[in-house]
Amino acid sequence: MIGRLNHVAIAVPDLEAAAAQYRDTLGATVGPPQDEPDHGVTVVFIGLPNTKIELLYPLGDASPIAGFLEKNPAGGIHHICYEVGDILAARDRLQAAGARVLGTGEPKIGAHGKPVLFLHPKDFNGTLIELEQV
């Protein structure tokens, strides 16, 4: 059901500094910041040959990333995103197997302009999983 790894998302307390570290220290290709108001975040994508890194920074006080950074002030891995061919079929299969889909269960449009869903971390070894339809 799941396809390739789309990205690993890292919450960061300073988006500019984190982007500069990937660009200047690691020599990676760093995209521009983009606000995602529906998800309460500002993101920067780091292009790698085999996947992407998504840097997450809170967009407003109600951002879920703000809460994550309160608990983890230095930042850290927030979620892992896998690709799926049909997000509604994947959702239905996962729910039938007992997995919990966060929010309303309906996909939202993610940072790549494609439908996404998040799965409860307690159902996946403590890891928040994002599914993105390709």
List, by residue number, the catalytic residues. 130
DSSP class of 103: T
DSSP class of 37: T
Q: Kindly report the CA angle at 95 between 93 and 99, in degrees rounded to 5? A: 115
Provide Rg for the chain, Cα atoms.
15
CA 77, CA 55: separation in Å to the nearest integer? 9
